[in-house]
Every structure is written in C-alpha cells, then in structure tokens.
A and B are shown apart, each in its own frame.
Chain A
Amino acid sequence: MDKSGNVGYNKTKTKTGEFMDAIRIENCTFTYEGDTLPAVDHVSLTVREGEFVAILGHNGSGKSSLAKLMNALETPDEGTVTVAGMRTDETDKLWQIRAEAGMVFQNPDNQIVAAIVEDDVAFGPENIGVKPAEIRRRVDEALAAVGMSAYAKHAPHTLSGGQKQRVAIAGILALQSRIIILDEPTAMLDPLGRREVLDTIRRLNRDDGITIVLITHFMEEAALADRVFVMEDARLVAEGTPREVFADRDMLRRTGLTPPNPVRLRNCLTDEGLALPADAFTDEEVIEEICRSL
C-alpha cells in the first residue's frame, strides 16, 4: 500500500486486464476457542480485485466468522487466507492487511470511536501513523466520498443509522482500503438508511474500483452483486452469479433462503405450469418473460 502518494480510492480503476485476487481463501477451517464445531469448515473462495460479492446464509452459518478471517481479526486453524498478496498468518503484515481490507459492522453505534465525526474518520490513519496534514486531506476526501462533509463536526449520536454507517465507511476509505468488507451493514437500518448505504457502496465499487464483500440477509442486496456465495453450517454450499444462485431452487430451499420477490413470483408461476426461463431474476426481466409467455 502506498502511504505517500495518491489516495487509493481516487485512483482510476486499476490495471484492468491483469486482475489480481483481492482475497483468496484456500481450504480454510476455523474453530473458536472453546467451541467444538468449526465456525468455518474447509471453505475455499476467491474474490477478484474490483469485484462486488455478496455472502448469504442464515443465522450462525459462519458468515461473520468468514469475514473476520478476511482481515486477520482471526487466523484460520487450517488453510490460508491471502489478502492482496499478503498472508494473514504473517504477523508483520497485520496492520497492512487491516488497512487494505476495512470492515464495517452491523451495529452503527458500536463502531464509532470518537465523539466528533471527523475525529472518528481520522482514527484509522492515526493508528498507522500517517502524518497530520495527510490525515486531514484523507479525512476530507473520505467524508466527501460518502457525502458526509456537511457533518464533519457533528456528534455521531445525532446522526441517523444510515449516516453513521456512511461515516464508518469513510473511516475505512481514510485508511485507503482497496477492499471493504461489510457485515450486515443494513440490518439495523430503515429502508432509507439501507438505500443510502447501498448506493454508497455501489458507487465506490463502480467509480473507484473498490472491492466489496457484502454480507447480508437481504436478497435484493445480494442481487446487486457480481457474484454470490452461500454459507450453510460453516460450509460454502453455493457460488455463482445472482442469476445462477437464485435459479437453484433446491439449494435455496435447503439453506432456508427466500429468493428476491421477482424470483419468488417466477417460481410460483412456474409451479402453476407457466413456462418461464429459470434464470430471469430482476423485476423487468420477470415482467417481460411473463408478458411474452401470456
């Protein structure tokens, strides 16, 4: 990571063509101390640079544990995790890895450290010893990138949930992370807050080429991703484009996931004997297919 030069997230989309793996998890198993069953069981997956992936799975399926492996908050008992070419079990790379792969948590309140928004955004770069003037610049840019510049001097508790999550994202951008891992960032937000957060992460992914790993319970959010992974009982049970994953009805039923509304409608209609292609999954596609088949 370059600490001196340009702000990472302002770089134009990097090295198209030569895609590096942002996160590579190889045959990882991880058990919490004191637990008997592993929280992550022989999981292998790869997230490419600039990709937007979603991780689905019901409660306790190991999604958060997997996320913690991705930025060295935990290290695997077996297998390896490589983040931007750095192995998470190499302790001397710890801060570089965490700066490279930032993490946003579910509860907007419990991840903001400072009593003033801009101080909180500065927290990350302060921890890795960035020079004051450079921190100032990064903080201003990061707040602008999430549309929160007007709130720089506000107290966090006066913000809405969506705004707090955007501040949390800014805190990661200020670390110049190229990867953002979000663990159910919208679970505690109202529809408006969810919209704000989703728009922000999609924009960062599209315009700045930031790799996004979104853990979510909302299928509509997963449908926005380039690829979707499904966890069940600590194992990875499916992966593919949202189109492929939502077409796999058996797997969805087994893992207890409810597909997005248009897919449910399509499934109902197919069950009633209407012949629809199995991979239509957006509102428009399903409407079009229905119209065509009538």
Chain B
Amino acid sequence: MRSTFGQYIPGASVLHRMDPRVKIVLTVLYVVAVFLTGSLIGYAALTAFVLTAIFLSRVGFGTVMRALKPLLFIIIFTTVINLFFNSTGNTVLSWWIIRITDAGIINALRISYRLTLLITGTALLTLTTNTVDLTDALERLLRPMKLIRFPVHELAMMMTIALRFIPTLMEETDRIMKAQKARGADFETGGALKRAKAMVPLLIPLFVSAFRIASDLALAMEARCYHGGEGRTRMKTLRLGRLDLWAGMAFCVVAAAVVCDQCGLFAFADNAVRGLIFPGGAL
C-alpha cells in the first residue's frame, strides 16, 4: 500500500514550487511528444528533459525509477510481444515459430523506452504536486469546459471530499474490522472465496457509515453557506512565476526538436545510428 504510484513527496524544489497548472499542461504535452516522436534525436531530447526535471525535483533518481516497478510487467509484456511477433524487416534469428527481425528489435526497444519515459515523466508530476493542488489546478484548467455544461466545480469538489475522507473511511474500516473480530469474525484464514465472503459483513456497515458521513457533511457544508460554484472565490490563487516561464521555454526547445524530427529534418542522424547497430541491414 505504501509505495503507491508516484505518491507525493513534500519538498521545496524548483519543481515543487512551480504552478501546478503549468506542471499539468507540460506533462500532457510531454506525453503527446513521447507518442509523436519516433527517432533518436527526439528520444534524446525528451530524455534530457526528464532527467533534468528529475535532477531539479530532488526526489531522487531511485524514487522516480521505483514508480516503474508496478508497471514493469506491462513494459516487459509489450516488449516481448513486439519482439516475437513482428513479421517485417530482416530476420536476425529464427527458431521454431519464433522469428526475430531487426525491425522487431527496434520496435520493442522503442516501445519499452517510450513507456519508461511516459511513466517517469508522469510520476514526476504526482511526486512533486500534492493531490490538493492537483485538484485545484485541474479545476482551474478545466474551467472553460463549463461553457459546454461540464460540471467542473462539482467534480473538483467531489475529488476534494474524496481526498479528505479517504483516511477517515480507512479508520472506520479498521474500527469495524476490530469490532467484528472481537465478535469472532475471521478475515485472515481460508481460501480467497472464504475471505471475500468474510468481507461482506464489513462492507455493509462501511456503506452505512459512508452515507451517514455524507449526510452530516452535506448539512455542515450548507451551514457554512455552500451553494455550488456560483459566486465562489478561492483563498489560494495561482500565479505564473518565472520558474514556470523557464520550464515552458525548456519544453519549447524539446518540442521543437520533436517537431523537426517529425518533419524528417534529423533523418540522417537516425540512419547513421541504425547503420551502427545493424551494419548489414538496410532499414
């Protein structure tokens, strides 16, 4: 439970101090860039970007890499699929029904590296931004969606409340579990089915609790003048700072590299490296 994907690590680094809205926007653009790019220069630019960000975040390289762990299986799986089941390109190795081609190898490498970049980059966002700021920033970013009647404020409020009450409900679960254990309930032994069944009497009181909390909270919110997003202000205002400008400019450079790459401007570099890896093959 502890090593949840990209759980926030408090800090005061440059990345921590950036406007969460900018962090979200840059992360989204970064993800797009990762998917768009297909060549070495592009990957190099993105790698430099993410490595610099990791360095600036001061959360530690290991911490960021640990975010890969839960997704390692997916990375390996896609890599293997791409490696073994690619029929284009020149055969490098052939055995039984397996035929590994050079295009297959390139593809597998590309996919696994793409996923690695994707995960480390997004993990960096959640590692350096607490969930409250994240929700806040999302609400502000999505505000224009109100025009098409998208319930932005309501969603953000729901997220805020969910975040607030996760620990409370955990405590409640613990309390109910203890109460039932004291009455002889057994949550630990037996097969999966038996244990799942033992959870049912846990869920019902938990649901009852959740509904009671919800109705109490609704009353408390009303008593404190809550009446939806209409005319509501926020204490914490977000302002773009110099840091955000710098981050934006850095990303622009990376984006420029990726775009040039897409236009084939760097094709020579790519071919040169491919030539190095597969001296014989003409890809």
The answer to whether A binds B is yes
Which of B61-69, B121-129, B232-240, B245-253 binds A?
B232-240
Is the beta-carbon distance between B235 and A135 smaller than 8 angstroms?
yes
Is the beta-carbon distance between A102 and B235 smaller than 8 angstroms?
no
Is the beta-carbon distance between A73 and B223 smaller than 8 angstroms?
yes
* CA of A132 to CA of B239, assembled, Å: 13
Report if B231 contacts A (CB, 8 A). yes
Report if B132 contacts A (CB, 8 A). yes
* CA of A136 to CA of B235, assembled, Å: 6
Which of A116-124, A214-222, A223-231, A281-289 binds B?
A116-124
Q: A103-B223, A126-B232, A175-B225 are in contact. Are A115 and B217 (CB under 8 A)?
A: no
Residues 151-195 of B at the A interface (beta carbon under 8 Å): 160-161, 163-164, 167-168, 171
Closest to A103 in B: B223
Report if A71 contacts B (CB, 8 A). yes
Is the beta-carbon distance between A105 and B219 smaller than 8 angstroms?
yes
Is the beta-carbon distance between B164 and A114 smaller than 8 angstroms?
yes
Report if B227 contacts A (CB, 8 A). yes
Number of A-B contacts (CB under 8 A): 96
Tell me how far the C-beta of B236 lies from the nearest C-beta in chain A, rounded to whole angstroms: 7
* CA of A136 to CA of B161, assembled, Å: 21
Q: A105-B216, A135-B233, A157-B171 are in contact. Are A115 and B160 (CB under 8 A)?
A: yes
Is the beta-carbon distance between B132 and A132 smaller than 8 angstroms?
no
Is the beta-carbon distance between A107 and B235 smaller than 8 angstroms?
no
* CA of A18 to CA of B160, assembled, Å: 44
Report if A113 contacts B (CB, 8 A). yes
Tell me how far the C-beta of A176 lies from the nearest C-beta in chain B, rounded to whole angstroms: 11
A112 CB contacts on chain B under 8 angstroms = 164
Residues 60-119 of A at the B interface (beta carbon under 8 Å): 71, 73, 95, 98-99, 102-103, 105, 107, 109-116, 118-119
Tell me how far the C-beta of A133 lies from the nearest C-beta in chain B, rounded to whole angstroms: 9
Is the beta-carbon distance between A132 and B225 smaller than 8 angstroms?
no
Closest to B212 in A: A110
Q: A125-B235, A132-B233, A132-B236 are in contact. Are A114 and B217 (CB under 8 A)?
A: no
B213 CB contacts on chain A under 8 angstroms = 109-110
Tell me how far the C-beta of B106 lies from the nearest C-beta in chain A, rounded to whole angstroms: 46
Report if A129 contacts B (CB, 8 A). yes
Report if B131 contacts A (CB, 8 A). yes
Tell me how far the C-beta of B16 lies from the nearest C-beta in chain A, rounded to whole angstroms: 14
Report if A203 contacts B (CB, 8 A). no
Report if B220 contacts A (CB, 8 A). yes
A175 CB contacts on chain B under 8 angstroms = 224-225
| Contact string against A for B residues 234-266, beta-carbon threshold 8 Å, 1 for contact and 0 otherwise | 111100000000000000000000000000000
Closest to A122 in B: B235
Closest to B136 in A: A119
Q: How large is the interface on B (under 10, 10 to 19, 20 to 34, 35 or more residues)?
A: 20 to 34
Is the beta-carbon distance between A129 and B231 smaller than 8 angstroms?
yes
Q: A95-B225, A95-B227 are in contact. Are A115 and B235 (CB under 8 A)?
A: no
Report if A145 contacts B (CB, 8 A). no
Is the beta-carbon distance between A115 and B163 smaller than 8 angstroms?
yes
Q: A102-B224, A115-B164, A175-B225 are in contact. Are A73 and B219 (CB under 8 A)?
A: yes
B236 CB contacts on chain A under 8 angstroms = 119, 122, 132
- Beyond contacts A113-B224, A129-B231: 8 other A-B pairs, Cβ-Cβ < 8 A, are A73-B219, A103-B223, A110-B217, A113-B160, A127-B226, A127-B232, A135-B234, A175-B224
Q: List 30 A-B contacts (CB under 8 A).
A: A98-B223, A98-B224, A110-B212, A110-B213, A111-B217, A113-B160, A113-B161, A113-B164, A114-B132, A114-B160, A115-B163, A115-B164, A116-B132, A122-B235, A122-B236, A123-B221, A123-B226, A125-B233, A126-B232, A126-B235, A127-B226, A128-B231, A129-B232, A130-B233, A131-B233, A132-B237, A135-B233, A156-B164, A157-B167, A175-B225
